[in-house]
Chains A and B, each alone.
Chain A
Amino acid sequence: MNQIGPIFRALLRNKVGALLLALQIALTMTIIVNAIHMIENRSSMMARESGMDEANQFHLMYVGYKDSFNERVAVETDLLEIRKLNGVVDATQINSTPLSGGGWSMGLTTTPNSQDGTPVSLYFVDDHGLNTLGVELVAGENFSQTEVTYRLSNDKQWPQNILLTEAAAKNLFPDLTPAEMIGQTVFIRDDEPMTIKGIIDHLQAPWVQWSNVNNVMLVPQRGLWNANRYLVRTAPGERDRLMREVEELLLAKRDGRLIRNVTAMDEQRDDAYQDFFALQTVLWVIVTVLTLVTALGIVGMVSFTVNQRRKQIGTRRALGATKGDIMRQFMLENLLITGSGLIIGVASSIALNIWLVDTFSLPRIGWHYLPIAMVVLVIVGQLAVLGPARKAANLSPALATRTT
Chain B
Amino acid sequence: MLKMTSVRKTFRTDTIETHALRDFDLQVEEGDFVAVTGPSGSGKTTFLNVAGLLETFDDGDYQLDGKSVQGMNDRQLAQLRNEKIGFIFQSFNLLPDLNLFDNVDVPLRYRGFNSAERKQRIEQALETVGLANRMGHYPAQLSGGQQQRVAIARALAGSPRFLLADEPTGNLDSNMASGVLDLLSEINAQGTTIIMVTHDPSLAQRAQRNIFVRDGQVTEVQTGTNIQELLQQTAQV
The answer to whether A402 and B45 touch (CB under 8 A), given A3-B109, A315-B93, A320-B111, is yes
A318 touches B45 (CB 8 A): no
B79 touches A311 (CB 8 A): no
The answer to whether A13 and B97 touch (CB under 8 A), given A318-B81, A322-B74, is yes
Report A-chain residues with C-beta under 8 Å of the C-beta of B90: 401
How far is the CB of A111 from the nearest CB of chain B, in Å? 75
Interface readout for B154-198 with A: 1 if CB under 8 Å, 0 if not?
A: 100010000000100000000000000000000000000000000
**What interface size band does chain B fall in?**
35 or more
Q: How far is the CA of A398 from the CA of B81 in the complex (A)?
A: 12
Interface readout for B110-133 with A: 1 if CB under 8 Å, 0 if not?
A: 111000000000000000000000
The answer to whether A401 and B95 touch (CB under 8 A), given A6-B105, A325-B110, is no
Report A-chain residues with C-beta under 8 Å of the C-beta of B45: 401-402
Interface residues of A in 280-312 (CB under 8 A from B): 311-312
| B75 CB–A CB distance under 8 Å | yes
B107 touches A319 (CB 8 A): yes
Q: Which of B55, B112, B154 contacts A398 (CB 8 A)?
A: B55
| A14 CB–B CB distance under 8 Å | yes
Report B-chain residues with C-beta under 8 Å of the C-beta of A319: 81-82, 87, 106-107, 110, 154
| B91 CB–A CB distance under 8 Å | yes
Q: How far is the CA of A316 from the CA of B97 in the complex (A)?
A: 13
The answer to whether A9 and B98 touch (CB under 8 A), given A319-B154, A321-B110, A397-B81, is yes
In the complex, residue of chain A having the shortest beta-carbon distance to the beta carbon of B102:
A6
How far is the CB of A397 from the nearest CB of chain B, in Å? 4
| B52 CB–A CB distance under 8 Å | yes
Q: How far is the CA of A324 from the CA of B79 in the complex (A)?
A: 12
A14 touches B81 (CB 8 A): no
Report B-chain residues with C-beta under 8 Å of the C-beta of A148: none
The answer to whether A396 and B54 touch (CB under 8 A), given A319-B154, A322-B78, is yes
Report B-chain residues with C-beta under 8 Å of the C-beta of A314: 54
Report B-chain residues with C-beta under 8 Å of the C-beta of A9: 97-99, 102
In the complex, residue of chain B having the shortest beta-carbon distance to the beta carbon of A14:
B97
Report B-chain residues with C-beta under 8 Å of the C-beta of A400: 54, 87, 89, 93
| B36 CB–A CB distance under 8 Å | no
Interface readout for B67-107 with A: 1 if CB under 8 Å, 0 if not?
A: 00000001100110111000101110101011100100111
| B219 CB–A CB distance under 8 Å | no
Report B-chain residues with C-beta under 8 Å of the C-beta of A317: 54, 78, 81
Q: Which of A3, A312, A401 contacts B166 (CB 8 A)?
A: A401
How far is the CB of A102 from the nearest CB of chain B, in Å? 66
Q: Taking each of B54, B55, B82, B83, which has the highest tally of chain A beta carbons within 10 Å of its own beta carbon?
A: B54
B166 touches A320 (CB 8 A): no
How far is the CB of A315 from the nearest CB of chain B, in Å? 4
B107 touches A320 (CB 8 A): yes
Number of A-B pairs whose CB atoms are under 8 Å? 91
Report A-chain residues with C-beta under 8 Å of the C-beta of B52: 318
Q: How far is the CA of A399 from the CA of B107 in the complex (A)?
A: 17
In the complex, residue of chain B having the shortest beta-carbon distance to the beta carbon of A320:
B82
A6 touches B98 (CB 8 A): yes
The answer to whether A320 and B54 touch (CB under 8 A), given A9-B102, A401-B89, is no
Report B-chain residues with C-beta under 8 Å of the C-beta of A5: 102
| A359 CB–B CB distance under 8 Å | no
In the complex, residue of chain A having the shortest beta-carbon distance to the beta carbon of B95:
A312
The answer to whether A316 and B106 touch (CB under 8 A), given A9-B98, A400-B89, A404-B91, is yes
Interface readout for A320-337 with B: 1 if CB under 8 Å, 0 if not?
A: 111111000000000000
A323 touches B98 (CB 8 A): no
A320 touches B105 (CB 8 A): no
| A2 CB–B CB distance under 8 Å | yes
B75 touches A401 (CB 8 A): no
How far is the CB of B4 from the nearest CB of chain A, in Å? 17
Q: How far is the CA of A322 from the CA of B77 in the complex (A)?
A: 9
In the complex, residue of chain A having the shortest beta-carbon distance to the beta carbon of B114:
A2
In the complex, residue of chain B having the shortest beta-carbon distance to the beta carbon of A13:
B97
| B218 CB–A CB distance under 8 Å | no
| A10 CB–B CB distance under 8 Å | yes
Report A-chain residues with C-beta under 8 Å of the C-beta of B110: 316, 319-322, 325
| B223 CB–A CB distance under 8 Å | no
Q: How far is the CA of A9 from the CA of B53 in the complex (A)?
A: 30
Q: How far is the CA of A317 from the CA of B77 in the complex (A)?
A: 10
In the complex, residue of chain B having the shortest beta-carbon distance to the beta carbon of A12:
B97
Q: Taking each of A320, A321, A396, which has the highest tally of chain B beta carbons within 10 Å of its own beta carbon?
A: A320
A321 touches B55 (CB 8 A): no
| B48 CB–A CB distance under 8 Å | yes
| B205 CB–A CB distance under 8 Å | no
In the complex, residue of chain A having the shortest beta-carbon distance to the beta carbon of B109:
A2
The answer to whether A396 and B55 touch (CB under 8 A), given A10-B98, A14-B97, is yes
21 CB-based A-B contacts, threshold 8 Å: A3-B109, A6-B106, A9-B99, A10-B97, A315-B93, A318-B52, A318-B54, A318-B87, A319-B87, A319-B106, A319-B110, A320-B78, A320-B111, A322-B75, A323-B74, A323-B75, A400-B89, A400-B93, A401-B45, A401-B49, A404-B91
Not counting A319-B106, A323-B78, a sample of 4 additional A-B residue pairs whose C-beta atoms are within 8 angstroms of each other reads: A312-B95, A317-B78, A321-B78, A404-B91
